[in-house]
């Protein structure tokens, strides 16, 4: 899947300008540096995939870097521009080198690399920070059908006992379930995306090498996409597709493993994991979801409860933190009598939604190989 994005486009243009504006010595230095970056990525990619032709990729790199860095009229933002230069690589064994110049790598990202979050430890850290700030923490369940947001009370179940808690304001941070907000607002689903995911933890007996590949891999397939990432407990593999397009065989450990076997790249990341201990996948909803309104007098929703994203965005946790912090400030303002803060909060969520929907269309629109398959066709027709 092509993954050029606005940041990648900006980076490409900056590097081109730097190369164009420099004197000969500077130009050679920049191109040389770019070649080194590309070669490093090629070696990592081929090592990760355990296939490819390293010699050919390394030898063609200087030519590709010179063409894409200083000669060809190409703009990553306009791949279909009829006036762009066309480059045809009739040297298929060296596609890995070419891919480096089209792809987006965290190695070259001016905003730095991405992060893998140890969610259990992060949540424990947040709880202790809340405790240190004076919050009283209760491990209880908000009982959905009996809780009335806006009435400034919540019914909770703790150790099997029901209790009504009165409060000045209720913040719904119960994720996609939106236990409180769903009774107040309307929920709009973006599509029918679901995730089937399994954690592979057991290494093959006698397999000595560690799984040292820390980069997240996303691979598009006709009926959706896969991703895999190393997590503290092993390797997570997930398949994203639409609920109505899901093959029932995928629900079993064997079926899931078979499906992984049909991928080109994801399967290589499971080298060394014991297939005999392949777990049956779990399911979860993964579609974009918007609660509207997401706040009213006495209540406010934050995180996935207010706005949940397709995981391809990789923005869910960041947005949950962002909306959580903003919801907190909004409540604070409302408690001081500034009720217009609720309108500002709605506008803030709207801006995030607009940007998310734009990026969603842009990223899904880049995959053109299976545009007649319902999964991709539906996404190309989204507003």
Ligand X SMILES: Cc1cc2nc3c(=O)[nH]c(=O)nc-3n(C[C@H](O)[C@H](O)[C@H](O)COP(=O)(O)OP(=O)(O)OC[C@H]3O[C@@H](n4cnc5c(N)ncnc54)[C@H](O)[C@@H]3O)c2cc1C
Q: What are the residues binding ligand X (CB under 6 A)?
A: 141-142, 144, 173-175, 177, 179, 195, 197, 238, 284, 286, 303-305, 308, 311, 314-318, 320
| CB of 38 or CB of 295, closer to ligand X | 295
| CB of 119 or CB of 207, closer to ligand X | 119
Q: Which one, of 240, 11, 41, 244, lies nearest residue 109 by Cα? A: 11
**What minimum distance in Å lies between the beta carbon of 382 and ligand X?**
19
Q: Please enumerate in sequence order all residues whose Cβ is within 8 A of that of 123, keeping only pairs 6 or more positions apart, or say none.
A: none
| CB of 47 or CB of 141, closer to ligand X | 141
**What minimum distance in Å lies between the beta carbon of 338 and ligand X?**
25
Cβ–Cβ under 8 Å, residues 250 and 259: yes
Query: For residue 315, what are its two tokens?
Result: 């923005």
Q: Which one, of 51, 302, 274, 269, lies nearest residue 174 by Cα? A: 302
How far is residue 268's CA from residue 156's CA, in Å, rounded to a whole number? 46
Q: What is the DSSP code string of 206-261? A: T--S-----S-EEEEETTEEEEEEEETTEEEEEEEEEGGG--GGGGSHHHHHHHHH
Cβ–Cβ under 8 Å, residues 291 and 305: yes
Angle, CA of 216, 40 and 227, to the nearest 5°:
15
Torsion of CA 313, 317, 323, 325, to 10 degrees: -150
**What minimum distance in Å lies between the beta carbon of 195 and ligand X?**
3
| CB of 61 or CB of 147, closer to ligand X | 147
**What minimum distance in Å lies between the beta carbon of 95 and ligand X?**
27
Please tell me whether the peptide bond between 168 and the residue prior to it is cis, using omega within 30 degrees of 0: no
Burial class (CB in 10 A: 0-12, 13-18, 19+), 90: exposed
| CB of 69 or CB of 303, closer to ligand X | 303
**What minimum distance in Å lies between the beta carbon of 108 and ligand X?**
20
| CB of 31 or CB of 286, closer to ligand X | 286
**What minimum distance in Å lies between the beta carbon of 312 and ligand X?**
9
Q: Which one, of 286, 328, 275, lies nearest residue 169 by Cα? A: 328
| CB of 127 or CB of 207, closer to ligand X | 127
Cβ–Cβ under 8 Å, residues 307 and 187: no
How far is residue 333's CA from residue 346's CA, in Å, rounded to a whole number? 14
Query: For residue 129, what are its two tokens?
Result: 């920070």
**What minimum distance in Å lies between the beta carbon of 84 and ligand X?**
33
**What minimum distance in Å lies between the beta carbon of 316 and ligand X?**
2
Strands 153-158 and 141-142, how do they pair?
antiparallel
**What minimum distance in Å lies between the beta carbon of 49 and ligand X?**
22
| CB of 3 or CB of 284, closer to ligand X | 284
| CB of 181 or CB of 298, closer to ligand X | 181
């Amino acid at each position: 899947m092509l993954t050029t994005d606005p940041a990648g486009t900006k980076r490409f243009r900056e590097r081109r300008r730097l190369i164009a504006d420099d004197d000969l010595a500077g130009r050679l230095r920049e191109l040389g540096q770019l070649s080194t970056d590309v070669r490093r990525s090629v070696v990592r990619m081929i090592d990760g995939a355990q296939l490819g032709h390293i010699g050919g990729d390394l030898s063609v790199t200087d030519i590709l870097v010179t063409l894409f860095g200083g000669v060809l009229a190409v703009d990553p933002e306009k791949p279909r521009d009829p006036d762009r230069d066309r480059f045809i690589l009739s040297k298929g064994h060296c596609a890995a080198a070419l891919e480096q110049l089209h792809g987006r790598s965290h190695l070259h990202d001016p905003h730095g690399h991405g992060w893998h979050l140890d969610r259990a430890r992060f949540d424990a850290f947040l709880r202790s920070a809340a405790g240190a700030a004076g919050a009283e923490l209760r491990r209880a369940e908000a009982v959905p059908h009996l809780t009335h947001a806006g009435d400034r009370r919540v019914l909770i179940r703790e150790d099997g006992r029901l209790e009504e808690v009165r409060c000045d304001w209720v913040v719904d941070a119960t994720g996609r379930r939106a236990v409180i907000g769903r009774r107040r607002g309307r929920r709009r689903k973006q599509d029918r995306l679901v995730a089937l995911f399994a954690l592979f933890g057991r290494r093959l007996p006698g397999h000595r090498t560690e799984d040292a590949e820390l980069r997240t891999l996303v691979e598009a397939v006709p009926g959706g996409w896969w991703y895999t990432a190393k997590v503290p407990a092993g390797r997570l593999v997930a398949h994203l597709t639409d609920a109505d397009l899901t093959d029932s065989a995928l629900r079993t450990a064997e079926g899931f493993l078979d499906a992984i076997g049909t991928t080109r790249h994801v399967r290589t990341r499971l080298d060394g994991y014991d297939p005999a201990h392949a777990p049956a996948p779990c399911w979860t909803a993964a579609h974009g979801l918007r609660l509207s309104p997401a706040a009213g007098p006495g209540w406010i929703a934050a995180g996935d409860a207010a706005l949940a994203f397709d995981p391809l965005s990789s923005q869910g946790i960041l947005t949950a933190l962002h909306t959580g912090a903003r919801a907190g400030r909004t409540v604070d303002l409302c408690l001081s009598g500034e009720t217009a803060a609720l309108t500002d909060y709605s506008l803030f969520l709207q801006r995030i939604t607009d940007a998310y929907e734009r990026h969603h269309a842009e990223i899904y629109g880049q995959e053109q190989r299976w545009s007649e398959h319902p999964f991709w066709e539906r996404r190309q027709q989204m507003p």
